[in-house]
Amino acid sequence: MNCEFSGKISDRLSRLAIELPTWGFADTGTRFGKFLQDAAALTLEDKLDDAAEVHRLTGACPSVAVHVLWDVPEGGARALADAAAVRGLRIGSINPNVFQDQCYRHGSVASEDAVVRRRAIQHLLDSVALARAVGSRTLALWFADGTNYPGQGSFVRRKRRFMDALREVHDALDPSMRMLVEYKPFEPAFYHTDIADWGMAAAFARHAGPQAKVLVDTGHHLPGQNIEHIVAFLADEGALGGFHFNDRHYADDDLTTGSIDPYRVFRIFVAIAEAERATGRDLDIEYMIDQSHNEKPKIEAMIQTVTTVQELFAKALLVDLEQLESARAANDIVAAEECLKSAFATDVREALAAWREARGFPRDPLAAHRSSGYTARAARARLPRKQASGGSYA
């Protein structure tokens, strides 16, 4: 079943901005090793070039998330902001890194070592300053802190350290900024993680202050978790700050969005559509991608995710919410479910192609990218630099 978008749906899609991560364009892998691609980004400039290519083809990705330790050039904040601006982009969320250095092997802000805790907090404060300097309003926080064995740490003492640290960082924010607190049930710690679920993240955010919200990574849940329930609950509490979009089959697989369970992503968007209908305005949340494309070509995988998010968001906007409410009021379970299934079964690809064309973008961004020769040009320019830097490339 095909469709045409109403003006309301078209306008809402036009306001859907999807943030790209710099790390999604570089060579990545698993703890067993990296999987190398000739055209993968090597430098910050390469990453921004690739992000600009995705934005050029989709028109939906004006901002780029950066990791502080991986992406800030020698010229600092000004050079970072300028490098994005000349490519028609802006710097989006600032992602501190308090998990990579050896001193954090037993935790960052939850560490037993006061010197390590202060180092981690100072890095978070420096990240706030970086956000201010580049014009970003978002500090996205993920912590690897946790323990691997029973008795290794005090749950309560670590909790209180987190609360103190997050409150200190929150108090350093400008009024226009927000702090997003992410959660993860396990990995790299396998006995307990200090921010293990959405309830803990919400409690930490609430304690930190009104500019702190919860960041939902769609891969950071135990099997069977009802993510759309979490999203609806947080939205109703005014505690939903944004998403890291990816997909998973086993755990935090970081696969392209919708590649495993598109119906789940659709249901998340239905929860958002219902929240926006209730408030009469767009939710003030961030839509960000966080994926690891070990085998897929980097840009192609990003385009796949962006267009899939648009498709599933459009399908959610097609749900007849008045009809859905009528079915609920009558306890007509079948009719209520059919409201969702009917919208999900609608083929929106042609409508999206026409919508893109009307806005001056390719009808099929992936096909346009493949025919552009961008990947071959990038490989020719980057591979010699990679080989010169000592990388092992076939």
- Following DSSP, what letter does each residue of 179-237 receive, concatenated? EEEE--SSSS-SSEESS-SHHHHHHHHHHH-TTEEEEEETT-S-TT--HHHHHHHHHHT
Q: What is the pLDDT of residue 185?
A: 97
Cα separation of 91 and 259, whole Å?
Answer: 27
C-alpha distances in Å from residue 131, one per residue of 19, 125, 138, 178: 15, 10, 7, 10
Q: What percent of the chain has pLDDT over 70?
A: 98
The DSSP output letter for 296 is: S
Handedness of CA 59, 60, 62, 66 (dihedral sign): negative
Cα separation of 15 and 264, whole Å?
Answer: 22
β-strand 146-147 against 178-182: which pairing, if any? unpaired
Count of alpha carbons within 13 angstroms of residue 26, beta-carbon side: 17
Please tell me the total number of residues recorded for the chain in this structure: 394
Contact 47, 92 (CB under 8 A): no
Q: Is 21 left (phi over 0), alpha (psi -120 to 50) or beta?
A: beta
Cα separation of 187 and 30, whole Å?
Answer: 13
At 208-261, the pLDDT tens digits run 999 999 999 999 999 999 999 999 999 999 999 999 999 999 999 999 999 999
Please state, rounded to an integer, the average pLDDT across all residues of the chain.
96
Q: How many helices (H) and strands (E) does the chain have?
A: 15, 12
394 band by pLDDT with thresholds 50, 70 and 90: very low
From 73, 26, 53, select the one nearest 382 (Cα to Cα): 26
Q: What is the pLDDT of residue 388?
A: 86
Is the pLDDT score of 392 beyond 70? no
Contact 98, 106 (CB under 8 A): no
Cα separation of 389 and 377, whole Å?
Answer: 19
pTM tops 0.85, yes or no? yes
Average pLDDT over residues 269-296: 96
387 band by pLDDT with thresholds 50, 70 and 90: confident
Say which amino acid occupies 63. S
At 339-376, the pLDDT tens digits run 999 999 999 999 999 999 999 999 999 999 999 999 99
308 band by pLDDT with thresholds 50, 70 and 90: very high
Contacts of 339 (CB under 8 A, 6+ apart): 319, 320, 323, 324, 327
Handedness of CA 59, 63, 69, 72 (dihedral sign): positive
Q: Is 143 left (phi over 0), alpha (psi -120 to 50) or beta?
A: beta
Which residues on neighbouring strands pair with residue 35, listed in sequence order?
Answer: 28
Which residues on neighbouring strands pair with residue 83, listed in sequence order?
Answer: none
Is the pLDDT score of 281 beyond 70? yes
Cα separation of 183 and 197, whole Å?
Answer: 5
C-alpha distances in Å from residue 222, one per residue of 31, 123, 144, 171, 249: 21, 30, 17, 32, 11
Q: What are the φ and ψ backbone dihedral angles of 354, each rounded to 5 degrees? A: -65, -40
Q: What are the sequence ranges of the domains in the chain?
A: 14-318
Q: What is the pLDDT of residue 1?
A: 59
Average pLDDT over residues 54-72: 96
CATH architecture of residue range(s) 14-318: Alpha-Beta Barrel (3.20)
Q: What is the pLDDT of residue 256?
A: 96
Helix axes 349-358, 298-317, angle to 10 degrees: 110
391 band by pLDDT with thresholds 50, 70 and 90: low
Cα separation of 379 and 95, whole Å?
Answer: 28
Is the pLDDT score of 2 beyond 80? no
Is the pLDDT score of 45 beyond 80? yes
At 156-179, the pLDDT tens digits run 999 999 999 999 999 999 999 999
At 190-213, the pLDDT tens digits run 999 999 999 999 999 999 999 999
Q: What are the φ and ψ backbone dihedral angles of 100, each rounded to 5 degrees? A: -95, -40
